[in-house]
Structure 1
Amino acid sequence: MKNTYSLVEITPQSHDVILEIAYATEKNFTGKPVYKQPLCLMHEEAASRLQRAIEVLQPMGLRLKIWDAFRPQEAQQELYDCAPDPEYVSHPQTGVRPHCRGIAIDLTLVDQFGHELEMGTEFDDFRSLAHHGNDQVSNLAQKNRLILAGAMNVAGFNPIQSEWWHYQLPDADHYPVLKESELGSGIL
């Protein structure tokens, strides 16, 4: 396994991204804050690959808005309790849990003014409309999803079929699942 404590903070200054950490607000499917702080943490390898995606998008005048990245296992349990569907929320004990490993990120594209591009659904939409390749969303949304997927793929991230906004590093089992108590980060 990789180094357990190799998480780095992603900030607008370090990576030229917009942060809107959804689970630190009420603007998420639980309707309440799950995190105490709006931190964006990733395993150092994932952070390096994120930088590559940022560089791919820059010539197009596009940036990334991040809704979630590292999530302690305790928070995963809270999310699963609200939506116990492993197609959208990994089981906190037996699922892959890429967010709990610091190797997953939930994000979208924004234009040069910081406005989100049309993607066909909002973040955390647990319907088939949010699935990659869904042709029931507009042509513009399909195009924007493909741009995001292309940049993330070039950077070395894989999608999951059910969420256009979710990308993760391959080989999740090479990275340990982390609990907040192991980090002392105060996310929860």
Structure 2
Amino acid sequence: MSRSSRVFAAVLALLFCATLASPAGASDRHGVPPAFVALRDVDPTIRYDIRYFGRHNFVGERIDGYRQPECVLTRQAARALRTAQRTLLRRGYTLKVYDCYRPQRAVDHFVRWAKDLDDERMKAEFYPNVDKSRLFADGYIAEKSGHSRGSTLDVTLVKLPVRPQRPYLPGEPLVACFAPVGQRFPDNSVDMGTGYDCFDPLSHTDNPAITGAARHHRDLLRSTLANVGFRNLPEEWWHFTLNDEPFPDTYFNFPVTRRALG
């Protein structure tokens, strides 16, 4: 066999091995598995407030991997969410998503931030009662996230008709995420007892201190999503994962963008 023939054979062998090594749901030429969709293409009525695309989050800056303020999910999760939305619309509510698929590079950004104990620019709102050195030990930050598997999302309820929500102004005075409605940031969602991404025991879904309207809203969100196949993370009222997620062991790293979908 000539040298050029041996090189060609070696290249073919490498390509064959790479194909065999590709995980379930192999990515297309854009790096996005065909099983993923933009939520707005499945249900355009669901509202968005993609916090990690902007600066109103516990880090205080746009997070790596968020190239557009989009909700990307596996097709199964998006369709289940559409079913839940139809139920809630009849009851006078709409879903609003804060985060959906989250690339591993975003999780890595969180980890780097959590290790920088001097950066506490957003502490007064998102973790006023937690020492930043405790974020890993207390489970608020981890090196892997179910969001990276594509069937987990952070979501809330908004009452119809939807009220406008003013934008967050970087540098504005911060108010604790567990302050009463009317004092904390004016999110247009219904009262859930705390704001989104509130690192505090009051965010635990069944915390007995949450009563009245906030308790009703948490229970309504959880029961509606449970009826279409999602389970809630007990420590975060906003966090839900599809029970039959198609990629339970795969953590993806393609960026959040709509351009590569379809």
TM-score by length of 2: 0.63
Q: What is the Cα deviation at residue 56 of structure 1?
A: 1.8
Q: 1:110 aligns with which of 158, 164, 180?
A: 158
Q: What is the Cα deviation at residue 15 of structure 1?
A: 3.6
**1:32-71 deviation line (CA, Å, top 9, x unaligned):** 0112311110011111111111122121111011100001
**1:114-158 deviation line (CA, Å, top 9, x unaligned):** 231100000000100000111212321011000000111001001
Inter-partner Cα distance in structure 1 for 2:48 and 2:160: 15
Q: Which sits farther off after the overlay, 9-18 or 64-73? A: 9-18
2:195 matched residue in structure 1: 122
1:160 matched residue in structure 2: 233
Q: 2:56 aligns with which of 5, 11, 27?
A: 27
Q: Which sits farther off after the overlay, 41-50 or 133-142? A: 133-142
Inter-partner Cα distance in structure 1 for 2:103 and 2:140: 17
Q: Check the 8 A contact 2:68/2:258 in 1, yes or no.
A: no
Q: 1:99 aligns with which of 132, 140, 147?
A: 147
Inter-partner Cα distance in structure 2 for 1:21 and 1:159: 19
2:179 matched residue in structure 1: none
**C-alpha distance 104-89 of structure 1, shift in aligned 2 (>3 A):** farther
Q: 2:207 aligns with which of 120, 134, 144?
A: 134
Identity, in percent, stands at 28
Task: List alignment gaps of at least 5 residues for structure 1.
Answer: none
Letter in 2 for 1:145: R
**C-alpha distance 15-185 of structure 1, shift in aligned 2 (>3 A):** closer
Q: Check the 8 A contact 2:72/2:101 in 1, yes or no.
A: yes
1:3 paired with 2:25, answer yes
**1:91-130 deviation line (CA, Å, top 9, x unaligned):** 23xxxx2110111010100011223110000000010000
Q: Check the 8 A contact 2:53/2:69 in 1, yes or no.
A: yes
**Structure number with bigger Rg:** 2
Q: Check the 8 A contact 2:50/2:69 in 1, yes or no.
A: yes
TM-score by length of 1: 0.86
1:16 paired with 2:45, answer yes
Q: What is the Cα deviation at residue 2 of structure 1?
A: 5.1
Please provide the CA RMSD for this pair: 2.4
Q: Check the 8 A contact 1:72/1:178 in 2, yes or no.
A: yes
SS of the residue aligned with 2:97?
Answer: strand
2:102 matched residue in structure 1: 71
Inter-partner Cα distance in structure 1 for 2:258 and 2:190: 36
Q: Check the 8 A contact 2:38/2:258 in 1, yes or no.
A: no
Task: List alignment gaps of at least 5 residues for structure 2.
Answer: 1-22, 27-32, 115-134, 163-187
Inter-partner Cα distance in structure 2 for 1:155 and 1:23: 26
Q: May I ask how many residue pairs the two structures share in their alignment?
A: 181
Q: What is the Cα deviation at residue 13 of structure 1?
A: 7.7
Q: What is the Cα deviation at residue 175 of structure 1?
A: 5.1
Q: 1:49 aligns with which of 40, 64, 80?
A: 80
